Amino acid sequence: MTDLASLNAQALAAIDAAASLDALEAVRIETLGKQGSVTALLKSLGQMSPEERQTQGPAINGLREAVTSAIAAKKDALESAALNARLATERLDMTLPAPDAAAGSVHPVSQVMDELAEIFADMGFAVAEGPEVEDDWHNFTALNIPETHPARAMHDTFYFPEEAAVDGKRMLLRTHTSPVQIRTMLSQKPPIRVIAPGRVYRSDSDATHTPMFHQIEGLVIDKGIHMGHLKWTLETFLKAFFERDDVVLRLRPSYFPFTEPSAEVDVGYTLVNGKRVIGGSEGWMEVLGSGMVHPRVIAACGLDPNEYQGFAFGTGVDRLAMLKYGMDDLRAFFDGDLRWLKHYGFAALDIPTLSGGVGA
């Protein structure tokens, strides 16, 4: 018994004296390790008679518990002492001058896309996405543009070689965001309310065309949808986007294969010191294509056009940015010229909100 008591006292003294985590670990190995003194006692239980074991067992186990918890407590104490010592050496001198303000800026295209997402989220639209490498069927056929349709030629499509066909489908760089309509109708049940912003590609380049540009698509599919819903949605959107209540819309009959009837949407402008300012109706600028989703498109997505109707619209994000923020050459959007980015870019904290004015 005295053996146990003195071993206990010895172990606790060693634990108490351990001045570092390493020293504590050494004590742990000496007592509780494989060859440790406490472990040896525990092993000796096996050789004892049952009566002996009855008295010695609890005593030895008690010793093991006392040593284990003393080690754990000491470990905590040593660790927090080490942390405190480290914290005492790590100081931040708040009197030092702040680093230079962040030099980057948010590209107008990203800013406008954020503004659009904010405006449409408020009207209950989710953001949908689709691939930029698209197949023929989603980009054209399902949108009621069959192989022989002249609209295919109008799109100046970048095709992948025939040999790169996937499952017999010719691949291409999507020429518009409209295929996201198809993907959304195939993967979600109505009611559907989505916008799909993203990159699109056409083989075309001048001051107002670049081979890659950005569009945003809108799609609503539900029962009993009519053109009044389309007009209200576009009017609400354009007023919020241009941050003016006097935005006037003009819907002109037009043609798109995937909508029937189709309308092009113009916004009115006023000339102020020879510059076009959105608002009023002195002149008109085309901003959107739109219409009621063609029954064939609805049917191509496996929905019954007698049950579901919808409207769709599409527009160029870069063009919207140019109209709102006054740039005149689209090519500059993609030149990566720092002077342009500094001039037209937005600070990272200029997050568009409806309450702050979207473009604040």
Report the interface residues with ligand DAH, using CB under 6 A: 176, 178, 217, 256, 259, 289-291, 312-314
Residue with Cβ nearer ligand DAH (256 or 269):
256
Residue with Cβ nearer ligand DAH (201 or 313):
313
Instruction: Find the shortest distance in angstroms from Cβ 313 to ligand DAH.
Output: 5
Instruction: Find the shortest distance in angstroms from Cβ 268 to ligand DAH.
Output: 20
Instruction: Find the shortest distance in angstroms from Cβ 158 to ligand DAH.
Output: 14
Instruction: Find the shortest distance in angstroms from Cβ 355 to ligand DAH.
Output: 29
The residues, ordered by sequence, that sit 6+ positions from 285 with a Cβ below 8 Å of its Cβ are: 266, 267, 269, 276, 323
Cβ-based neighbour number of residue 221 at 10 Å:
25
DSSP string, 123-173: TTPEE----SEEEHHHHTGGGT--TT-HHHHHTT--BPPGGG-BTTBPEEE
Residue with Cβ nearer ligand DAH (176 or 319):
176
Residue with Cβ nearer ligand DAH (217 or 266):
217
Q: How far apart are CA 258 and CA 186, in angstroms?
A: 16
In the DSSP assignment, the letter for residue 177 is S
For 303-331, b/e burial (b = at least 16 CB within 10 A) is: bebeebbbbbbbbbbbbbbbbbeebeebe
Residue with Cβ nearer ligand DAH (67 or 196):
196
Instruction: Find the shortest distance in angstroms from Cβ 221 to ligand DAH.
Output: 12
Find how far residue 193's CA is from the centre of its chain.
19
Residue with Cβ nearer ligand DAH (18 or 234):
234
Find how far residue 219's CA is from the centre of its chain.
20
Instruction: Find the shortest distance in angstroms from Cβ 217 to ligand DAH.
Output: 5
